[in-house]
Chains A and B, each alone.
Chain A
Amino acid sequence: MTLERTLTEIDHALNRLACTQIVEGTGDGQAVTAALEAHAATLGAWETPAARDLAETLRTLAASGASEEDKLGAALAVVGRFAGASATCPDATADHGQPDACHKAVSHEAHEETISHDAHEGHEKEEPNESFLRDLRDLRGESLRDLRGEAAHGDRHEPVAADDLAALQGDAEMAELFIGEALDHLGTIESKLLALEERPGDTGLLNDIFRPFHTIKGNAGALGLLGVQRVAHTVETLLDLARSGQHRIGPTEVDLVLRAVDVLTLMVNDIGRRLEGAQPAALGDAAASLVESVTRVIEGGKEGEESEWGRLQEASAAGGPQPVHQDGTTSTPPGGPQQRTAQPALACRVAPQPDVEAGSSPAPSDRSDGRRWDDVPGTGAIKVETRKLDSLVDAIGELMIVQSLIQEDPALAALLDGRLARNLGQLKRITVDLQRNAMALRTVPIRQAFRKVERVVRDMSRKLDKPIELTLSGEDTELDRKVVEEITDPLMHMVRNSMDHGIEPPDVRQARGKRAQATVSLSAYHQGGQIVIEISDDGAGLDTDRIRRKAIERGLLSPSPDATATPEEIHALIFAPGFSTADTVTEISGRGVGMDVVRRNIEALRGRVEIRTKRGRGTTFAIKLPLTLAVVDGLLVAVGRERYVLPTTVVRESLRPTPSQVHTVQGQPRMLQVRDALLPLVSLGDLFGIEAIADPAQATVVVIEVGGTRVGLVVDDLLTKQEVVIKTLGETFSTARGIAGGAILYDGRVGLILDPHGILDLMRGANAA
């Protein structure tokens, strides 16, 4: 038998002992002490330093004056840590292993976290001091006692108090890590739940849902977040019953667990906000009522055993020395926290079941999920602060500029040296490659956003009583993390809108010869340096005439019959503020708030929305977004001595107007006629107080479109197109309006990037004044 195996057995034996003690009380006063001495003796058979250390520790514990409970708690923690470490560091426990760095790290860590150094050195073995006892209690004893208290009172309906953040205060990295991981896990759970609803009997899926709950519970417990822990624990109990076939999963259960995901997401997010100084949100009632509902469902399904089960589960995972991540920037070592949370819990079954191991080795399904890489052993992934990535991307942006400066340098061109030209070409290729790779570092798959939509479709489909099938494609398409975060809400809103307004009720669909079940499809793909996200439905399509009528009613369109708005222009009106064609306002949509916000959000990401629709066949919204927010594709314009970068996403056209196109109002050139449309003219020089060409007929006009408004921007000249790296101007210029940031231009000078929304606001402000 290997040492590792022995450790596992000791671990299990201690867990069984803990189970007995919790259920039956301490009973024989010396059971723990006796057990510890026995285990220490067993370990004595191994010659390795790790085994010796552990045996020594157990003996110290046995001889200490601590209570049986405290001894057991501490022993569980120490053995647990050793067993976990032996998986990471096989050398530490190998039968003839030498003390190496790995071993030292493990044993040192274990000692440090379990007993005071004095005890480790053997100086005060006979006389355990106060701090020793305190350490023991901190480790496991308190939680064991708490559980005993809970078991005695059987009170599951107490309100869930806001979590005490003491353990997280001052450790922003740990908090961030916990929050990030928990949200990741909740995301995984949500998508698996939706699959589970289709295949309720799939135990693999159940395991996939159970495990992240378990991890969240364990991590929350380790950080003293008792509220989160309690909710996760209750749901876990239900899931575990389902796993062992004692409870059947039906729609009620899925609903409950989904609710739990929502509540936990809120709680976890709330923790983040509170750490930034916000007041706790009132989530206690929601959490308590959820815990109560789940408990009722559990009791309805199976009487008696489950409460004990729940306690056992909690006993094992509650106060464990969950390392979460000792080092915030590196990945979980293989067999790290994941394993530790799963093992003791399951060890409470008298004989370890095969699925005991399921929690300790990541299942293939975890690996196929792109966002779980941090738990997969062997991929060598690390977590890096985005700030570091940003400065890398920045530096590479500068490199690109310097590279092009050198390449374009006339002095070099004059040399006409073939080898130099080749080398410069090589430098350019490498630089471009480097930039692409650096950009890719900040990107994540869009899956996270799609998952949320999946959930919306499921909930809405029931609420609206419209059977809807959602098809997804391109979930692996990667884009800037911030874009994924910011696009989620607009996506959900648009899908909600499609389902509510676009898709007809089933009877209408059948009458029109369509399948009763409607289809909404969501896809993401790259196209020409942009990301395109499409939301398509096979619903009724946009009713151009009706939108036109509504728009005329609201004064958005001229009622004269010869007004020539193209269908595209009319369709775009659905993004106008307050616009709604819905005759009835439903709970879900139709209030006319939303689509304008959707467009604003997308434009804030420097993206745009296009609509394709066919009456009776359906509508497709295509959102086009830049690959990254770090770089802007800009049109360089000159105004007086200054040059500005205008993001090309808002540019519709540019022209040199003839005098007849320019119309004056109160003596000022204020309007520009472009074909049939009259556009307001804004002089960037006037707006920014720069001396510039005053007569638009002598200048250049760039037509920009922001939030559905087209404006002619008067500039002196168009210079070139350039991709620039966006740099913030910092606090000093936080009041600068119309400016989105700065960029280093090709000649090394700083150019200011224009903020089209801000320019419109400035223009409106100037008009009002």
Chain B
Amino acid sequence: MTPETATLELRGADHAGKYLIFALAEEEYGVPVLKVREIVRMMDITTVPHMPPHVRGVINLRGKVIPVIDLRVKFGFPAQEYTERTCIVIVEVALPVARVMMGIIVDRVAEVLYLTSQDIEPTPEFGDRVQTDYMRGIAKVKGRVKILIDLDRVLGGDGIGVMPRVI
């Protein structure tokens, strides 16, 4: 998608609504609350061989086997030991083939925010260095920037490759 169409899309679509805000390193990210099924504490993850590093493996969520993605690794942050505050956010993702549940590992969950259309700005151009097509926009709340991400794009389709850091 070119930046132009992304901008157009953003203006056309209303992204206002509730967002779950979570932190990766010092950055804050947001996903629509409607996509979030639940948040669980870090648990034992079974590694699946021959997978890219950000695909951590699978967990047992009440009898369901669910893939878990480490968003830190996916976004190119340096790996870090899991802490007490590390969480797995269980989200529903629309892959090209089906809707599936996936877990994303985040450093900590911050809050749930209601963002109005005024709060949300289109993704700025960062040039070729930064991949932005999985970003829905940027929200500025009380001087802090929250990067709103489109999970279907982050986790779906070509989501196997590691994306370069945003900032």
Q: Is B90 an interface residue (CB 8 A)?
A: no
| Residues A732 and B67 in contact in the complex (CB < 8 Å), given A687-B49, A690-B49 | yes
CB distance from B83 to the nearest CB of A (A): 20
Assess the A752–B60 pair: CB atoms within 8 A. Answer: no
List B contacts of A748 (CB < 8 A): 60
Q: Considering only CB atoms, which chain B residue lies closest to A751 in the complex? A: B46
Q: Please judge, given known A-B contacts A732-B102, A749-B60, whether A739 and B49 are in contact too, CB under 8 Å.
A: yes
B135 at interface, CB cutoff 8 A? no
Given contacts A398-B63, A749-B44, contact A688 B50 (CB under 8 A): yes
Q: Which residues of B contact A731 (CB under 8 A)?
A: 95, 97-98, 100
Per-residue CB contact flags for chain A residues 724-750 toward chain B (1 = under 8 Å, else 0) read 000111111101111100101000111
Stretch at the interface among B30-38, B51-59, B112-120, B125-133: B51-59
Question: In this complex, what residue of A is CB-closest to B63?
Answer: A398
- Contact for B65 among A642, A687, A729, CB less than 8 A: A729
**Complex Cα spacing A751 to B57, Å:** 11
When the two chains form their complex, are residues A727 and B65 in contact, meaning their CB atoms are under 8 A apart? yes
> Is there an interface contact between B100 and A738, defined as CB atoms closer than 8 Å?
no
Q: Could you tell me the distance in whole angstroms from the C-beta of A4 to the nearest C-beta in chain B? A: 50
Within B14-67, which residues are at the interface with A (CB < 8 Å)? 44, 46-51, 55, 57-60, 62-65, 67
Q: Does A395 contact B (CB under 8 A)?
A: yes
Residues of A within 8 A of B95 (CB): 731
Task: Return B54 CB to nearest CB of chain A, in Å.
Answer: 11
B50 is contacted by which of A398, A642, A689, A742 (Cβ under 8 Å)? A689
Q: Which residues of B contact A394 (CB under 8 A)?
A: 63
A730-B67, A733-B67, A742-B65 known; A642+B47 contact, CB < 8 A: yes
Question: How close is A558's CB to chain B, nearest CB, in angstroms?
Answer: 35
Q: A36 to B116: give the CA distance in the assembly, Å.
A: 68
Give the contacts of A674-689 with B (CB-CB under 8 A).
Answer: 687-689
Contact A735 B50 (CB under 8 A): yes
Interfacial chain A residues near B102, Cβ < 8 Å: 732
- In the complex, which residues of chain A have a beta carbon less than 8 angstroms from the beta carbon of B63? 394-395, 397-398, 744
Q: CB < 8 Å: which of B50, B59, B62, B97 contacts A750?
A: B59
* Cβ-defined contact, B97 with A752, below 8 A: no
A403: shortest Cβ distance to chain B, in Å? 13
Minimal beta-carbon separation of A763 from chain B (angstroms) = 13
Q: Could you tell me if B48 and A736 are in contact, using CB atoms closer than 8 angstroms?
A: yes
Contact across chains for A739 and B46 when beta carbons are under 8 A apart: no
B71 to chain A, nearest CB (A): 15
Q: A526–B63 Cα gap in the complex (Å)?
A: 30
Alpha-carbon gap, A744 to B60, bound state (A)? 7
Asked if B48 and A752 sit within 8 Å, CB to CB, the answer is: yes
In A326-348, the 8 Å CB interface with B consists of none
* B100–A732 CB distance below 8 A: yes
Which B50-104 residues sit within 8 Å CB-CB of chain A? 50-51, 55, 57-60, 62-65, 67, 95, 97-98, 100, 102
Closest residue of chain A to B100 (Cβ to Cβ) is A730
Chain B: minimal CB distance from A400 (Å): 11
CA distance in complex: A739, B55 (Å):
15
Residues of chain B within 8 A of A738, CB atoms compared? 49-50
Contacts of B100 in A (CB 8 A): 730-732
Q: In the docked arrangement, what's the CA distance between A752 and B45, Å? A: 11
Interface string of A377-415 (1 = CB under 8 A from B): 000000000000000001101100000000000000000
Closest beta carbon of chain A to B85's beta carbon, Å: 22
Q: Check if B48 sits within 8 Å of A729, measured CB to CB.
A: yes
Shortest Cβ gap from A735 to chain B (Å): 7
Q: Determine the distance from Cα of A311 to Cα of B47 in the docked complex, in whole angstroms.
A: 67
Minimum Cβ distance to chain B for residue A664 (Å): 25
Question: Are B51 and A736 in touch, CB under 8 angstroms?
Answer: yes
B50 close to A752 (CB less than 8 A): no
A698-737 interface bits toward B, Cβ cutoff 8 Å, 1 = contact, 0 = none: 0000000000000000000000000000011111110111
Known: A729-B65, A733-B67. A688 touches B59 (CB 8 A): no
Chain A residues closer than 8 Å to B47, beta-carbon distance: 642, 690
Residue numbers in A under 8 Å from B59 (CB-CB): 750
Q: Known contacts A730-B67, A731-B98, A744-B65: does B49 contact A750 (CB below 8 Å)?
A: no
The one of B50, B55, B64 in contact with A732, judged by C-beta atoms closer than 8 angstroms, is B55
Whether the pair B51, A750 counts as a contact (CB closer than 8 A) is: no
Determine which residue in A727, A749, A750 has the highest number of CB atoms from chain B within 10 A of its CB, and name it: A750
**B49: contacting residue among A688, A730, A732, A744, CB under 8 A:** A688
Distance of A750 Cα from B45 Cα, bound (Å): 8
In whole angstroms, how far apart are the Cα atoms of A589 and B156 in the complex?
47
* Contact in complex: B60, A750 (CB < 8 Å): yes
- A735→B160 CA distance, assembly (Å): 11
B58 touches A642 (CB 8 A): no
B93, closest chain A residue (CB) = A732
Nearest CB in chain A to that of B62: its residue: A398
Closest residue on chain A to residue B69 by CB atoms = A732
Once the chains bind, are B46 and A749 in contact (CB under 8 Å)?
yes
Complex Cα spacing A594 to B51, Å: 35
Closest to A749 in B: B44
- Chain B residues whose C-beta falls within 8 Å of the C-beta of A687 in the assembled complex: 49
**Looking across the interface, which residue of chain A has its beta carbon closest to that of B45?**
A750
The residue among B44, B49, B58, B67 with the most chain A CB atoms within 10 A of its own CB is B49
- CB of A50, distance to nearest CB on chain B (Å): 47
A642 touching B46 in the complex, CB below 8 Å, given contacts A731-B100, A732-B55, A748-B60: yes
Partner of A737, one of B50, B64, B67, B98: B50
- CA of A749 to CA of B60 in the docked complex: distance in angstroms? 6
A265 to chain B, nearest CB (A): 30
| Contact of B46 with A742 in the complex, beta carbons under 8 Å | yes
**Nearest B residue to A747, CB-CB:** B44
A736–B60 CB distance below 8 A: no
Told that A397-B63, A750-B65 touch, could you supply 15 new A-B pairs with CB distance under 8 A? A398-B62, A688-B49, A690-B49, A729-B48, A729-B58, A731-B98, A732-B100, A736-B49, A737-B50, A738-B50, A749-B44, A749-B46, A750-B46, A750-B59, A752-B58
> What are 6 A-B residue pairs whose CB atoms fall within 8 Å in the complex?
A729-B58, A732-B100, A733-B48, A742-B65, A744-B63, A752-B46
List the 7 closest pairs (A to B, CB-CB), nearest first. A688-B49, A398-B63, A750-B46, A742-B65, A732-B67, A727-B65, A750-B58
